[in-house]
Amino acid sequence: MSAQNLRIVTWNCRNGPFDEKSALLDIFKPDIKIIQEIPGPGKKNDEHCIWFPSRLTDKKGVAIISSDELTMTCNPPSPDLPEVFVPVKISGKISFNLLAVWAQKEMNYIESFEPILNTYQDFLSASPSVITGDFNSNAQADKKHSKFNHSKVVKKLEKEFNLISAYHSNRQVIHGQEKENTFYQNYNEHKPFHIDYCFIPTIWTVENVRIGSFADWCQTKKSDHVPVVVDVRIVNQ
C-alpha cells in the first residue's frame, strides 16, 4: 500500500495576461492549476497546458496547467453543451479524470450542470474524478433556479458519482453556511459570496483546504475571486 499527495488550485483570475496570472499561483506549488476567465496562452494545447475559450467571449476561457509529474489529454468539449466545462484525463503519479468548470449565464449558471452531468456520466464514472472551478452558485440561491439548483447538484454528485466538496468536508459545514468566501463582487469586501468549489472522490482524504484572503487577492486587484487550494492524500492499494 502506498499513498500520494496532490495539490489542486482553482481560481477565477478575471482576466490576463496568461503567464502573469498563472505565475501568481506558483506560490502554492500546485500539482495542477485550474484557472477560469483567462485569455489564451498563445500556443497550442499540450500535455501540460490545456486551454479552451468560451463561446460567449472567445477572448477568455479555462486553462488547466499541470506540473511535470502529471500529463494531460483532452478532447474538445462538445459544441452542443453549455460553456465552459472541459473534460481532461490526467495521468502520472496519480491518474484521475478532471472536469474543469466555468459556469456562465448561457444556461443560467448552475442549471447547466444537468445536461453536463448526464453527458459526462461515463467519463466521471470511469475513473476517480474531480470537478472544480467557478460554479457561480451557492445553496443560498436555490430558489432562483427552478430547473436544477445548487443543492440538487451537490446531492447528485454525492449519490451518483461519490463526489464531495473538499471545503465542506474539511470545515464540516453544510452548503449555504460557509464562513469563508471566494468571490467579492466589484472587489467589495462587503459583497462576499462562496461560489468556487472542488469536488473530490469520497475515498480521497482531504488534508487541508485554504481560501485566499480578500487583502491579498482582491484588495490588490489581482482578481475579484480568491484561490481555493486543496490538499488531498490518495492511498493506492
Rounded distance, CA 163 to CA 142, Å? Answer: 20
Catalogue all structural domains in the chain, each as residue range(s) with its CATH number.
2-236 (3.60.10.10)
pLDDT of residue 188: 98
Which triple of cell numbers denotes residue 58? Answer: 472567445
pLDDT at 77 over 90: no
Instruction: Name which residue leads in pLDDT, 162 or 58.
Output: 162
49: part of which helix (H) or strand (E)?
Answer: strand 49-53
pLDDT at 69 over 70: yes
3-state helix, strand, coil in the chain (%, to 5): 25, 35, 40
pLDDT of residue 107: 83
Percentage of the chain modeled with pLDDT above 70:
100
* Tens digit of each residue's pLDDT (9 = 90 or more) over 98-111: 999 999 988 899 99
pLDDT of residue 165: 98
Give Cα separations from 214 to 40, 115, 219 (angstroms).
Answer: 26, 34, 6
pLDDT at 83 over 80: no
Whole-number average pLDDT of the chain: 96
What are residue 125's phi and psi, to 5 degrees?
A: -95, -15
- What pTM did the predictor assign? 0.97
* Tens digit of each residue's pLDDT (9 = 90 or more) over 47-57: 999 999 998 88
Give Cα separations from 175 to 44, 45, 65, 165, 209 (angstroms).
Answer: 38, 35, 28, 9, 15
pLDDT of residue 236: 79
